[in-house]
Structure 1
Amino acid sequence: MAVPHSLPQRIFLLAYNPDKGRVALGTHLGAMLRAAALADLYRAGHLTDERGRAAIDVRHPCRDPVLEALLEEIAGSKPHTWQSWIGHRQGAVIRAVRQQLNDGGWVHLQPHRILGLFPTSKVTIREPRVRKELLDRVNTALHEPIGSIDPADATLVAIIVAGDLSFVLDRKTRRANKQRIQELTKLSEPIGPALYKSIQAAAIGEV
């Protein structure tokens, strides 16, 4: 079963709660999608890490419009930490990834109004087996030999854990696989740790 290529799209599909029939409320979806986009750019060599900051050595074209928009944002700004970039423009990345999935035929968007007043879009996954395939990849990353794990899947798990997407990986499962999750998070560096710090900083700012 084919799944979307980009990590942000994969995270979005995993954040969809089939029991609720919508993307789970109360998740750190925007932060996770920004982290996922940074991870894709980092793994593809578009970004490098310079003393904890996202940097561009040589600008290469990026075919994915969501990733290209983030790369343009970074290129036009002074250096910032990975954590800082995760905290920017979260609403915009949610809308962009959602539209990308719709355009690619992964989801169906239907105009909807909350309480009959606030415009939004109802999201429906067109093929539930795609999400199941992503869940299988998460499970594989937790149990197969660490050397055989796709770095993208390692980062996927690190983002899910840092973003506390508990209906994908509940606390019991995370406790049982604590050491493996630490190994996968290390493979995701600098993204997993930066996402955790960003979410923690946002929570403190809300108090």
Structure 2
Amino acid sequence: MALPGSLPQRVYLLAHDPAKGRVGVWTELGAMLRAAALSDLRLHGYLTDADGRAAVNGRPTVNDPVLAGLLAEIAATRPRKWQHWIGRRHRATVVAVRDQLGAGGWVRLEPYRMAGLLPVTRVTPRDPRVRKELVNRVKGTLRNPVGRVEAADAALVTIVSAGGLSLVLDRKARRDSKRRLAELSVLTGPIGPALHKSIQAAHSEAG
């Protein structure tokens, strides 16, 4: 089955709750999408790790507008820690990925006003089987031998776990798969731990 090509789009679809018909407001969606974009850029060789910091590798040209925007942010300043880039521009990234899914035909976007006042957008996947396939990929990644796991799938599972997306991996599943998740995190590099630290820092500030 065809799936969205980028990790941010896949994470967004996984965060959509079929029972409630919306993306859960309780998710750390912005942070997860930023981490997913960083993972995509790293997997394609556009970013490298320089002493715990994200560094642009050469002068790459990226066609995906969400990834290109993040790469431009990173290129415009000195190398900073991965956590720094995960913690920025959450709302803008969520909207950009949502609109990208809409333009690609993966979701239907319906603007309306909540209580007749607040402008919001209803997001409805056009084919529920796409999300089911993504959930199956997550579960398969936890079962299959590490040597047979695709790097993108390892990154997807690591982000879902580090982001605490219980809709896909609840606390019991994460606990039961603790050893495998640690192995996948090694394959994913610095981004999983950086996502976890970013969310913890945000919660500390909010508290």
Tell me the TM-score normalized by structure 2. 0.98
Shift of 1:171: 1.2
The equivalent residue for 2:135 is 135
Distance 1:156 1:114 in 2: 32
The percentage of aligned residue pairs carrying the same residue is 57
How far apart, CA to CA, are the structure 2 residues paired with 1:78 and 1:157?
30
Q: What count of residue pairs does the alignment treat as equivalent?
A: 207
Aligned AA for 1:165? L
Deviation at 1:167, TM superposition (A): 1.3
Is 109-118 or 39-48 further displaced after alignment? 109-118
Q: Distance in 2 between matches of 1:68 and 1:111?
A: 26
- Does structure 1 conserve the Cα–Cα contact (< 8 Å) formed by 2:41 and 2:67? yes
The amino acid that maps onto 2:100 is: Q
- Please give the per-residue CA displacement for 1:176-195, whole angstroms capped at 9, x wherever unaligned: 11111111111111111110
Which segments of 5 or more consecutive residues in structure 1 lack a partner in the other structure?
none
Q: CA deviation at 1:120?
A: 1.3
Q: Name the aligned partner's letter for residue 156 of structure 2.
A: L
User: TM-score, with normalisation over the residues of structure 1?
Assistant: 0.98
Q: Report Cα offsets for 1:6-44 as digits up to 9, x if no partner.
A: 000000000000011000111100000000000000110
Once the two structures are superposed, what CA deviation does each residue of 1:100-132 show, in whole Å capped at 9, x if it has no partner? 000000000000222321111100000000001
Q: Secondary structure at the match of 2:8?
A: helix
Query: Are the equivalent residues in 1 in contact too, given 2:83–2:198 (CA < 8 A)?
Result: yes
After superposing the two structures, state which structure 1 stretch, 115-124 or 96-105, moved more.
115-124
Could you say which residue in structure 1 is the equivalent of 2:149?
149
Write out per-residue CA displacement over residues 39-77 of structure 1, whole angstroms, 9 at most, x where no aligned residue.
Answer: 000110111100110001301100101100111111112
Quote the Cα distance in structure 1 between the aligned partners of 2:59 and 2:190. 20
Distance 2:89 2:77 in 1: 14
CA distance in 2, matches of 1:66, 1:82: 17
**What SS does the aligned partner of 2:12 have?**
helix
Greater displacement, 181-190 / 147-156? 181-190
Counterpart CA distance in 1 for 2:193 and 2:103 is: 32
Q: Within 2, Cα distance between the matches of 1:164 and 1:154? A: 16
The DSSP-based 3-state class of the residue aligned with 1:132 is helix
Asked if residue 66 in structure 1 is aligned to residue 66 in structure 2, the reply is: yes
- Please say which of residues 169-178 and 102-111 is displaced more in the overlay: 169-178
Amino acid at match of 1:82: W
**Larger deviation: 182-191 or 15-24?**
182-191
Partner SS for 1:5: coil
Give the Cα separation in 1 of the matches to 2:203 and 2:26: 12
Structure 1 segments, 4+ long, off by >6 Å, are none
1:191 and 1:67 map into 2 onto residues whose CA distance is 15
**Using the alignment, how far apart are the partners of 1:9 and 1:124 within structure 2?**
14
**Inter-partner Cα distance in structure 2 for 1:206 and 1:30:** 16
Contact conserved, 2:47 with 2:54, CA < 8 A, in 1?
Answer: yes
**What is the Cα-based RMSD across aligned positions, in Å?**
0.8
Unaligned runs of 5+ in 2: none
